[in-house]
Amino acid sequence: MPALLIGDEAPDFEVETTEGPIRFHEVIDGSWAVLFSHPKDFTPVCTTELGMTAKLKDDFDKRGVKVFGVSVDPLDDHRAWIGDIEETQGIALNFPLIADPNREVATAYGMIHPNANDTLTVRSLFVIGPDKRVKLKIEYPASTGRNFDEVIRVIDSLQLTAKHQVATPANWTAGEDVIIVPAVSDEDAKAKFPDGWKTLKPYLRVVPQPQ
């Protein structure tokens, strides 16, 4: 199966989760979503990641983002692992963990890399827009935990740039200046950004973040 690319439709699926059965497209309809994989239950890095995701629930909620974890382990293992996560990370799981023992989801999303391991999912993360298309994909090796500040940062950027004709510069965080995209002429920019902007080059126009 070809690799899933940014702009592709996120594959649909029906699965069991720790919060009951779901049809993915139905449950995310009209919302932003994050789908991320972990290589295996009862592994150390993944335990910390799931705890951190649970701690960030309010941050995801206020951005209208639904979060789903997935691995190829069965539902019984997920349920047993949840207790370990709460004990060691100090927070109860508050989002669905998808059971994918038949590797349907992992295969559809290209989460299994034979060059790394032909049975375990690598640490993949997809941000999916309200149009059900992939907006971002990030992959980490099994040994390296995700930077969740970066996950939140890119969601802020994706949501801002989807609403306004701007782009975000290197190391941008919410509230900082942004860039007017080249497709917007100076004439159109006057209507969109009536308070003006700073032109560093004709193709590089910096403006305060739209509210």
**Segments in the chain forming alpha helices (H):** 24-28, 44-55, 57-62, 75-89, 104-108, 148-163, 186-192
Residue of 46, 65, 85, 178 with catalytic role = 46
Q: Is 171 an active-site residue?
A: no
DSSP string across 16-77:
EETTEEEEHHHHHTTSEEEEEE-S-SS-HHHHHHHHHHHHTHHHHHHTTEEEEEEESS-HHH
**What values do phi and psi take at 37, rounded to 5?**
-105, 155
Rounded CA separation 172/194 (Å): 22
Distance CA 33, CA 27 (A): 10
Count other C-beta atoms under 10 Å from residue 3's C-beta. Answer: 8
Positions marked catalytic: 46
